[in-house]
Amino acid sequence: MPTLQQSSGRFNRPEGSSPLLSQASPRRTALASLRGMEADPHQIADSEAHKQRRHRLIGIALMCGAVASFAVLDAAAKYLTGHMDTLQVVWARYASAFLLTLLISNPLTHPGLMRTTRPVLQLVRSALLLGSTLFNFLAFRYLQLDQALSILFSTPFMVAILAGPFLGEWIGWRRWLAILVGFAGVLLVTRPGYGGIHWAALYSVASALCYSFYIITTRVLSRTDSSETTLFYSNLVGVFAMMPVLPFVWSMPDSWFLIFLMAAFGAFGSFGHYLLIVGHRLAPASILAPFMYTQLVWAVALGFLIFGDVPNDWTLAGAAVVVASGLYLLYRERVKGASR
């Protein structure tokens, strides 16, 4: 009679060993290897670095989606400012966004929605966004879409300067160089000094200042408050701050299309700012800020489709430089994440 050791491999085991222990040994080996993996600090560090890199790349994608939404919002605002007072357009932007927010997320369905650990900073952040929106819409009355936005694109410089002392997020010389190259692309589009620039550019400068501090406060609040809470306060402060001035500037829209546009374009603002809030929760502000340049591409396209602004060779060349600088920043983030 053949022994167990001479039988098929399924029943082979050393003499005197327990079948139960023999069958459980692969599982024990796997568990032991997993424990060893968990105890390895190098593998833990690699896993954490991979997670951080993935979060930063997702944050960059969200930032690009946010500025695309903002480009649609700005194009709609420029169109509406040609038919009604700018303050009425600002109110419509916040009113439509606030109503949309109430449908999706409100204090009744989410009891802790308005609970914040930093109420003063929430109000300051909302006021900064309101100021940036107001100055930006005023600039649209006098400047072309790409001209106004090109000045607003000085924001990454301001954010990069402010993110160090306020957030402790210092950037290296390569990212500084990429920001400078991207801004040079913006200058190719606008060519300041070539034929002069309108005085309304000061509105865009004020908008850029407000927006820079808005991004910094967004990053600070993302550490303590939820994205829904921050977005709710933004729309709440905006709509109630504009209510007192609305009776003095109100004029009835003369077409159903204008009414539809007033109701719809706030949705693009809410969606864009939600992406912006979530993006800053995943990645530092100094990394996300340069990708704001991609909004120029959308502005040129919408300016051509809606207002008939044909981009010239300088505009196309500048847009190419802007896109190239953004792609380089994305490449540097991948390389730094891999080396980390």
Domains of the chain: which residue ranges? 55-169+193-284
Supply 297's token pair.
């591409």
- Quote the pLDDT of residue 40: 65
**Residue 11: is it exposed, middle or buried by C-beta count within 10 angstroms (0-12/13-18/19+)?**
exposed
Instruction: Report which DSSP code applies to 243.
Output: G
- Segment 275-303 shows an average pLDDT of 83
Question: How does pLDDT run across 152-187, given as a tens digit for each residue?
Answer: 877 877 787 788 888 787 778 888 888 888 888 877
- C-alpha Rg value of the chain to the nearest Å: 27
Long-range contacts of 268-272, Cβ-Cβ distance < 8 Å, separation of 24 or more: 268/69, 268/70, 268/72, 268/73, 268/76, 269/69, 269/70, 269/73, 269/93, 269/97, 270/97, 270/100, 270/101, 270/231, 270/235, 271/69, 272/65, 272/66, 272/67, 272/68, 272/69, 272/70, 272/73
Q: Could you give the CA distance from residue 107 to residue 229 in angstroms, rounded to a whole number?
A: 10
More confident residue, 247 or 267: 247
Estimate the share of the chain in helix, then strand, then coil, as percent rounded to the nearest 5: 80, 0, 20
User: For residue 315, is pLDDT > 80?
Assistant: no
Q: Which amino acid is at 142?
A: Y
Supply 151's token pair.
């000045």
Q: Could you give the CA distance from residue 256 to residue 262 in angstroms, rounded to a whole number?
A: 10
- Segment 11-36 shows an average pLDDT of 47
Strand, coil or helix: what is 48?
helix
Burial 43-70 (b: 16+ CB within 10 A, else e): eeeeeeeeeebeebbebbbbbbbbbbbb
- Segment 195-209 shows an average pLDDT of 80
Q: Could you give the CA distance from residue 152 to residue 212 in angstroms, rounded to a whole number?
A: 10
pLDDT mean across residues, the chain:
79
- Quote the pLDDT of residue 172: 80
Question: How does pLDDT run across 36-79, given as a tens digit for each residue?
Answer: 555 566 677 667 778 888 888 999 999 999 999 989 998 999 99
- The residues, any chain, with a CB within 8 Å of residue 159's CB and separated by 6 or more, are 212, 215, 216, 285, 286, 289
- Segment 109-122 shows an average pLDDT of 86
